[in-house]
Amino acid sequence: VILANTIESSQSVENAFQLFEQKRIVRTTTIVNVSWRLGRIAQWENPILIKLRNTLLRLSPPSVAENQIKFILNVSLR
């Protein structure tokens, strides 16, 4: 949808892809980096680190997960 809207409002397809990348790069990079870090943490095998991770997750307020979901779902379609 975002790409289609960008193409529609651009002077050329090349320009549309440049604008699309500029609009999306910060957001998508953030999502990829956070996902990568969480994936690494989820794969820990050291029992002490696993216990620490699980304790921190249990103690984390629900707002932490809610804010992550809000960031992912808050998409501007323009």
- Cα separation, 40 vs 25, whole angstroms: 22
* Amino acid of residue 18: Q
Determine whether 46 is exposed, middle or buried from the number of CB atoms within 10 Å of its CB (0-12, 13-18, 19+): exposed
**Residue-by-residue pLDDT tens, the chain, 78 positions:** 889 999 999 999 999 999 999 989 999 999 999 999 999 999 999 999 999 999 999 999 999 999 999 999 998 877
pTM across the whole model:
0.73
